[in-house]
Amino acid sequence: MDVLDLARTQFAVTGSLHFLFVVLTLGLAPLVAIMHTRWARSGKPLHEGMTRFWGQVYVINYALGIVTGLVMEFQFGLAWSGLSHYAGDVFGAPLAMETLVAFFLESTFLGLWIFGWGRLPKWAHVACIWVVTLTAYASAFYIMVANSFLQNPAGAVVTGGRMELTDFGALLTNKALIFSFPHVIGAGLFTGGMVLVGASAWRLRRRAPEVEFFTRSLRMGVVTAAIGIFLTMGFGYAQFAGVPEGKFGDHNVAAAVGLGLMIEFGQLLGLVVLLVMLPMISILPRARWTHPILIAMTPLPFALSIMGWMAREIGRQPWMIWEKLTVADAMSPGLTPGMVTASLIGFAAVLGLLAIVDYVLIARLIRRGPRALDLGAAADEPRTPALSY
């Protein structure tokens, strides 16, 4: 491949690996916040256990995912300095806001939540996880603002060979944003819900002693997945009203095929969740024959999310900013195939390793179950050394 194709491949690989963490974070954060609120209101040990168990899954995913996000920021300077020069005044603003929200507000309140067990007042502790959830969604919003600007450069004009922001309101009401952001939120809820479903089915199939714990988790996951897939499908179709003419034309066969496959598989999965799983929600925990199917369905939301993101990005080719800046002009000058190949291998290896570690740690936690958890443990509470990170 030439240097342009290598640079595109690098961003596709790192972006896809990073999005695996993001979509699960968006799905789990509100679920953990709801569990914690239930515990604060009821005081029941069951709700405390659910909060700590699924909260620990969330913390593992967040801690490793935040590292993968740093690589995405680096690449704009390493490989795409032409974009920064041409539209940095517009494109960089929402990215800067996302960085402030994610690295200052979200991480700060997550730290307060993690280390506030038994130290913060009950409702202040609950407020921390809700702030984490809201800032996670705000972070996703600013990322989608930046990406939607690439899809449809609203609110900016070209002056002196560079783009300048003239209407901030137009940037926030971009037709490429108003339906795509809820679509991403729906995908996150769908993914988080299916992780609860798959993990709970795995435990119940192995006749775990915590039957009520995972029965409630599975039912909560089914309801969340149903809400998520409904939002994903509804806002997914609504996005077509804002797709510019020619985006999925003959020159973008790969994007058109990927989009078609995503729609077909997404529709099929949506029908299964809404018309089969949701009506059977009361018997799924006891119906052991369904558990292997539910476990096998767990990776599908991740695959569909990646397919959707890839279709959105590839469909814009050959433009980096639609009809304003080509991908070739956005690339940094002076790059060689050897330089990009080396960074591609390095980034892919590190991010791929983080994804594997994320899976292994979460799988190990699920295999062990909600016993001797690290999150929220009292000083005298026994913990498993293998899971003390």
pTM over 0.85: yes
Query: Per residue in 361-382, pLDDT tens?
Result: 999 999 999 988 889 887 666 6
Query: Per residue in 293-320, pLDDT tens?
Result: 999 999 999 999 999 888 888 888 889 9
How confident is residue 250, by pLDDT bands cut at 50, 70 and 90?
Answer: low
- Could you tell me what percent of the chain has a pLDDT over 70? 95
Angle subtended at Cα 62 by Cα 56 and Cα 66, rounded to the nearest 5 degrees: 155
Q: Is the pLDDT of residue 242 over 80?
A: no
Q: How many CB atoms lie within 10 A of CB 147?
A: 22
pLDDT of 381:
66
pLDDT of 251:
65
Q: Which spans in the chain are helix H?
A: 3-42, 45-78, 81-100, 107-115, 122-151, 168-172, 180-205, 211-238, 253-272, 291-297, 300-314, 327-330, 337-368
Average pLDDT estimate for 32-38: 97
pLDDT of 379:
63
Q: Where are the domains of the chain?
A: 179-335
Average pLDDT estimate for 343-366: 93
Q: Is the pLDDT of residue 249 over 80?
A: no
Buried residues in 310-336 as b, exposed as e (16+ CB within 10 A): bbbbbbbeebbbbebbebebbbbeebe
Average pLDDT estimate for 213-217: 96
